């Protein structure tokens, strides 16, 4: 149930990893969601805001909100990627441990390696049609459209994957379980660590205050400094538990 379930060949295949890591860059912008209705009496700085408070907002979202935020982001009238990701967890398509999407990612990587970009885009569309917040699909798309000289499409997908990643960064500081980064699936953890210049070493699943967390032990790529990073995976574990009951 922990982070290991989210690891795919992307994180171990040498050449392909290098291709996609070139797309990541450390540009942590102050792109905070503009539509979060957090109680104004709360000190909302990341140093003091518990992500438990954010769950009050997450619990208020619905599947209809996902469609609303999706339209606004596609039309570039909103950058509230946090609400988009959280509202997606309310939809019938939310499947955080999807084996099918993992297999699709593998097919996409094979198509990219063979430069069969048209087939890769067909598979990517099959993912984004039911899961627009899939970060890797936007990274693949950015890379492919750049290769085939479709600049507008490449820029669009770059904006999306950066926005999705920045919304994880916004949700906490990762230093404690109380301020863990909120993710909707374990794949996001590994992508986020790569994006942050951190190398994964070890994962531990822990529980506290009725929430589930992955504690990731990491090394900074350049200095080799060690960091413990907490991710709140409660949304994913709750969905998994719910699937067992049906």
Task: Note whether 120 and 137 are within 8 A (CB).
Answer: no
pLDDT at 229: 96
Q: Specify if 215 maps to a domain.
A: yes
Tokens for 17, please give them. 């990893």
The closest of 238, 21, 15, 226 to 110, measured between CA atoms, is: 15
Q: Specify if 37 maps to a domain.
A: no
Counting the structural domains of the chain, the total is 1
Q: Specify if 7 maps to a domain.
A: yes
pLDDT at 140: 97
Q: Specify if 195 maps to a domain.
A: yes
pLDDT at 52: 84
Q: Specify if 130 maps to a domain.
A: yes
What does the alpha-carbon distance between residue 227 and residue 214 come to, in Å, rounded to a whole number?
13
The dihedral region occupied by 159, where left means phi > 0, alpha psi between -120 and 50, and beta the remainder, is alpha
pLDDT at 49: 58
**Cα distances (Å, whole numbers) of residue 19 to 6, 103, 129, 142:** 20, 19, 25, 12
Q: Specify if 240 maps to a domain.
A: yes
pLDDT at 213: 97
Q: Specify if 35 maps to a domain.
A: no
Q: Specify if 34 maps to a domain.
A: no
The dihedral region occupied by 210, where left means phi > 0, alpha psi between -120 and 50, and beta the remainder, is left
pLDDT at 169: 93
Task: Note whether 190 and 214 are within 8 A (CB).
Answer: no
Task: Note whether 157 and 33 are within 8 A (CB).
Answer: no
The closest of 26, 38, 60, 23 to 198, measured between CA atoms, is: 26
Q: Which domain holds residue 59?
A: 3-26+50-245
φ, ψ (nearest 5 deg) of residue 202? -155, 145
One pLDDT digit (tens) per residue for the chain, 246 residues: 333 223 333 333 334 434 343 443 333 333 333 333 333 233 443 444 577 889 999 999 999 999 999 999 999 999 999 999 999 999 999 999 989 988 999 999 999 999 999 999 999 999 999 999 999 999 999 999 999 999 999 999 999 999 999 999 999 999 999 999 999 999 999 999 999 999 999 999 999 989 999 999 999 988 889 999 999 999 999 998 877 765
């Amino acid at each position: 149930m922990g982070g290991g379930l989210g690891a795919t060949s992307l994180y171990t295949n040498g050449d392909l990893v290098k291709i996609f890591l070139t797309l990541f860059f450390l540009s942590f912008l102050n792109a905070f969601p503009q539509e979060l209705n957090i109680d104004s009496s709360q000190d909302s700085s990341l140093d003091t805001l518990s992500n438990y408070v954010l769950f009050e907002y997450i619990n208020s979202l619905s599947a209809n909100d996902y469609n609303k935020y999706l339209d606004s982001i596609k039309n570039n009238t909103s950058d509230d990627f946090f609400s988009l990701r959280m509202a997606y967890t309310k939809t019938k398509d939310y499947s955080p441990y999807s084996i099918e999407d993992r297999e699709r990612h593998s097919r996409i990587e094979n198509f990219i390696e063979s430069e069969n970009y048209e087939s890769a885009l067909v598979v990517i569309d099959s993912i984004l049609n039911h899961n627009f917040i899939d970060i890797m699909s936007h990274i693949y798309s950015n890379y492919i459209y750049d290769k085939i000289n479709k600049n507008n499409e490449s820029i669009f997908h770059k904006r999306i994957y950066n926005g999705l990643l920045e919304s994880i960064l916004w949700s906490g500081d990762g230093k404690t379980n109380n301020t863990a980064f909120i993710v909707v699936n374990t794949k996001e953890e590994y992508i986020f660590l790569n994006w942050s210049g951190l190398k994964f070493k070890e994962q531990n699943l822990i529980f506290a205050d009725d929430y589930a967390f992955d504690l990731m032990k990491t090394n900074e790529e350049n200095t080799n400094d060690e960091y413990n990073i907490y991710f709140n995976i409660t949304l994913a574990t709750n969905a998994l538990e719910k699937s067992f009951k049906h």
